[in-house]
Structure 1
């Protein structure tokens, strides 16, 4: 599968990316890939080991004569976001990612591509096998479960890594270098709500809101795209005028992806069906007009169910839940006052479900300030206390504090100007890179993050610009060779 990848340039990088595409590697299911990489390392004569969590490290000694150069750690995560279009039967535990090239971009058929962070991992592997490259001591650190919990970084072994400099290969814009990122946390809300049996005069309707672009819940949150959970709850609030009761709901599958689809089953009096169906048609027209030019694919449909569910939320519980969801925080909360043009705090209403009265919500809050994450969690707690729900914070991780005077950054800027013809834009990213966590465990490390241009990450629209991969590879090789010439006293 994906043999065409080996015809792309740079060939060593794409050969390794082919292996990643052909190996299922959703978060928590990286074991097969780890075993493949360990066998590959043994064939290459590279040292390899794992920490207690299972993060993988590969090591390569310095080119003779460059043993005193600062040690460089190439870092990326092995897992990928598993998202497929609802009408595409893809099993992420078994099926390979099917890729194709279109107009200078690599894409996948109806699923996420896994360029985030597969290209960074593939680049590190290609560097390790490149015997023409002059380099100091090299380590490649491949973490697990980054996309779901940052589990690999949070549980990384301490006093394990040996390098002085860390190159995070998990950012997504050519011509840019990142020196800071937001921290974040998951906010989980759960409650068992009271239900009532279906009445003799009640019928069931199934509502589907589909066709949205979705995207990365940090880097795309400011673009004004539709969030399926926000929009379908808005529809349901309008339909309360027809005495509906909510029976079930499911929207979004990942807390770090803007939800593209949401589905609800509701009960209502039989004599209101025709009016509801007409109103849904009007609401679809309204929503499409609001999202025109930003998210043009919205589709809102309704169908009657032959067999209604045995129960739904009682009228009061249904009203209270929809009211709470309608006012729940979402989107960009605040822009940074210290870094121009950078979002400080945002929240993604990522996963919402209701089944047999059991309600579950998982939102992802991102911020440059830990205090803002705590404040957002308290807003959720205060809101959902009103319906008797329990709110907890999980998987919290720190941000990465920018170091604009870093010698490593200065070296990269000079190299970028030399190789690309212009200096890179120095940025702080509104996404959860692992650098903040790694800095907490290894405070001596100097770090930067850079990568090729990836668009639509965390959605089936994910794609990578082929020419940017060649530029990324050139910069990575050039930087490693440049650092190999640095004396031990010059930590960058």
Structure 2
């Protein structure tokens, strides 16, 4: 399957991408991909080193005639989101991504593709390896752990890079040039509880929510997609209120930056209520599907009798848990008042686990406004604290404030129009790019972000456009030819 990908144009990019995807690179476990990149740079006899936190930096001198141009930092992140369908048997820590071509798209077999941000990495690798592409002095910055903490960008010291222009290759629409992004903060709510014995004359029902689109918790949050944790909580709340059901366990969602696609719960109710529960809950499921039919055509919610567990949540804790999740906002909180159609602030209830005496809930709040970010985070924190949870706010990272007077923004916007015959969409995005963090240690660096079209990032439906990658590759090369001279 990967051979078919290698034969796509531009071959120099897709071959690098295939090489990259042969190396396991989940966030927090990037040792192998770091070693791979170091070996890549050294084989090219380029100045290659790893900084104190694990970022890989590879430097390449300018081609003839470009020595007096400003030095450019080319930046992408090495790690990828590791999501797979439940039925897919795949180990992200030992296996390479299995890719295939479907028309104009490259996709993966039941897993995330890693085009976010592997295509950016592959394009930089192709430039470093090329003997014909014209460019100024280059500093390739490959950061680690972008998807789960941005610790690579946060740990980059201020004296390592000399470039004055940074090209971040980590956006997902090829007609957009990014000039700003959202910051974020993680909310973790945790509570221990006493378990109760399962009552006699009870029946256990497994509830399964699956088939949702999922997607990027920033870029896709405005689409009104279903959140498996919220859907499950709605069903559990109804079951508890109307049928006095007890919860044995809940396991929903996964990564903090992915809209949860699946959730499973086991509930207990009196045997005499089984038929009425199934009848009414089936009607509720029908209503939920009707509400989401436009955006979630493949949503499936199943009810199945299962083996009776020995323990359940106690009713007091259960009531607090269900009401807290109901009260916590999920989705768009506020739209920007200064940039049209930009989500300013949002929250994703990313994962919920309730079993064996512990409930843990994880959220990711994003905003291009620092004050609004903490306003929403404190609102959600308050909802969980009122329910007796211990709540922590961690992993705070800043947004990237737009600079409408950016020199590189003007250059890239002008080039895009000349190449494509129409204007690019110059915009900020509701995603956590590393530009905001990098800008703290390198405040004088002028930055833009762009990339090829990618759909379904952070989900097993992720796919990358072949024709768009060709467009992106041409654009990137033209930008490097048009970097201004040093002043």
* Superposition TM-score tier, normalisation by shorter sequence: over 0.9
2:441 is matched with: 441
Task: Report the alpha carbon displacement of residue 380 of structure 1 after superposing the two structures with TM.
Answer: 2.0
- Give yes or no for contact 2:384–2:391 (8 Å, CA) kept in 1: yes
1:320 is matched with: 320
Task: Report the alpha carbon displacement of residue 157 of structure 1 after superposing the two structures with TM.
Answer: 2.1
**Cα separation, 2, equivalents of 1:385 and 1:399:** 27
2:282 is equivalent to residue 284 of structure 1: no
1:223 is matched with: 223
Task: Report the alpha carbon displacement of residue 41 of structure 1 after superposing the two structures with TM.
Answer: 1.1
Q: The residue matched to 2:359 in structure 1 has which SS?
A: strand
Q: The residue matched to 2:110 in structure 1 has which SS?
A: coil
Q: The residue matched to 1:229 in structure 2 has which SS?
A: helix
2:78 is equivalent to residue 78 of structure 1: yes
**Cα separation, 2, equivalents of 1:424 and 1:301:** 45
- Give yes or no for contact 2:255–2:351 (8 Å, CA) kept in 1: yes
Q: The residue matched to 2:266 in structure 1 has which SS?
A: strand
Q: The residue matched to 1:216 in structure 2 has which SS?
A: coil
- Give yes or no for contact 2:4–2:101 (8 Å, CA) kept in 1: no
1:246 is matched with: 247
Query: What whole-Å deviation, never above 9, does each CA across 1:365-403 have from its counterpart, x for those lacking one?
Result: 000111112112211222112221111111110000001
Matched pairs, number:
486
Q: The residue matched to 2:432 in structure 1 has which SS?
A: coil
1:27 is matched with: 27
2:260 is matched with: 259
- Give yes or no for contact 1:380–1:391 (8 Å, CA) kept in 2: no
Map 1:57-456 to 2 at 5 A.
57-240=57-240, 241-306=242-307, 308-456=308-456
**Cα separation, 1, equivalents of 2:127 and 2:280:** 59
2:471 is equivalent to residue 466 of structure 1: no
- Give yes or no for contact 2:44–2:129 (8 Å, CA) kept in 1: yes
Task: Report the alpha carbon displacement of residue 275 of structure 1 after superposing the two structures with TM.
Answer: 1.7
Task: Report the alpha carbon displacement of residue 103 of structure 1 after superposing the two structures with TM.
Answer: 2.2
Task: Report the alpha carbon displacement of residue 124 of structure 1 after superposing the two structures with TM.
Answer: 0.4
Between stretches 172-181 and 198-207, larger displacement belongs to 198-207
**Cα separation, 2, equivalents of 1:24 and 1:110:** 16
**Cα separation, 2, equivalents of 1:325 and 1:367:** 21
**Cα separation, 2, equivalents of 1:442 and 1:315:** 53
**TM-score by structure 2 length?**
0.98
Query: What whole-Å deviation, never above 9, does each CA across 1:259-284 have from its counterpart, x for those lacking one?
Result: 00001111111211222222232122
**Cα separation, 2, equivalents of 1:446 and 1:51:** 22
- Give yes or no for contact 1:177–1:450 (8 Å, CA) kept in 2: yes
Q: The residue matched to 2:146 in structure 1 has which SS?
A: coil
Task: Report the alpha carbon displacement of residue 67 of structure 1 after superposing the two structures with TM.
Answer: 2.2
Gaps of 5+ in 1: none
- Give yes or no for contact 1:181–1:399 (8 Å, CA) kept in 2: yes
**Cα separation, 2, equivalents of 1:194 and 1:20:** 47
- Give yes or no for contact 1:23–1:96 (8 Å, CA) kept in 2: yes
- Give yes or no for contact 2:5–2:106 (8 Å, CA) kept in 1: no
Query: What whole-Å deviation, never above 9, does each CA across 1:429-475 have from its counterpart, x for those lacking one?
Result: 00000000000110010000000111111111111111110010001
**Cα separation, 1, equivalents of 2:108 and 2:301:** 26
2:18 is matched with: 18
- Give yes or no for contact 1:280–1:300 (8 Å, CA) kept in 2: no
**Cα separation, 2, equivalents of 1:2 and 1:200:** 55
Between stretches 377-386 and 172-181, larger displacement belongs to 377-386
Task: Report the alpha carbon displacement of residue 68 of structure 1 after superposing the two structures with TM.
Answer: 2.1
Q: The residue matched to 1:225 in structure 2 has which SS?
A: coil
Task: Report the alpha carbon displacement of residue 309 of structure 1 after superposing the two structures with TM.
Answer: 2.0
Query: What whole-Å deviation, never above 9, does each CA across 1:301-347 have from its counterpart, x for those lacking one?
Result: 112222x2221111121122111111211110000111111111000
**Cα separation, 2, equivalents of 1:103 and 1:295:** 23
Query: What whole-Å deviation, never above 9, does each CA across 1:148-171 have from its counterpart, x for those lacking one?
Result: 111111111221111110000000
Between stretches 52-61 and 308-317, larger displacement belongs to 308-317
Q: The residue matched to 2:90 in structure 1 has which SS?
A: coil
The runs of at least 4 aligned residues of structure 1 exceeding 6 Å deviation read none
Between stretches 346-355 and 263-272, larger displacement belongs to 263-272
- Give yes or no for contact 2:187–2:381 (8 Å, CA) kept in 1: no
Task: Report the alpha carbon displacement of residue 146 of structure 1 after superposing the two structures with TM.
Answer: 0.5
Q: The residue matched to 1:332 in structure 2 has which SS?
A: strand
**Cα separation, 1, equivalents of 2:202 and 2:466:** 55
**Cα separation, 2, equivalents of 1:380 and 1:37:** 40
- Give yes or no for contact 1:46–1:60 (8 Å, CA) kept in 2: yes
**Cα separation, 1, equivalents of 2:164 and 2:334:** 35
**Cα separation, 2, equivalents of 1:23 and 1:222:** 33
**Cα separation, 2, equivalents of 1:204 and 1:288:** 24
1:457 is matched with: 457
1:2 is matched with: 2
**Cα separation, 1, equivalents of 2:297 and 2:6:** 35
Gaps of 5+ in 2: none
Task: Report the alpha carbon displacement of residue 247 of structure 1 after superposing the two structures with TM.
Answer: 1.3
**TM-score by structure 1 length?**
0.97
**Cα separation, 2, equivalents of 1:399 and 1:21:** 29
- Give yes or no for contact 1:106–1:466 (8 Å, CA) kept in 2: yes
**Cα separation, 1, equivalents of 2:485 and 2:22:** 41
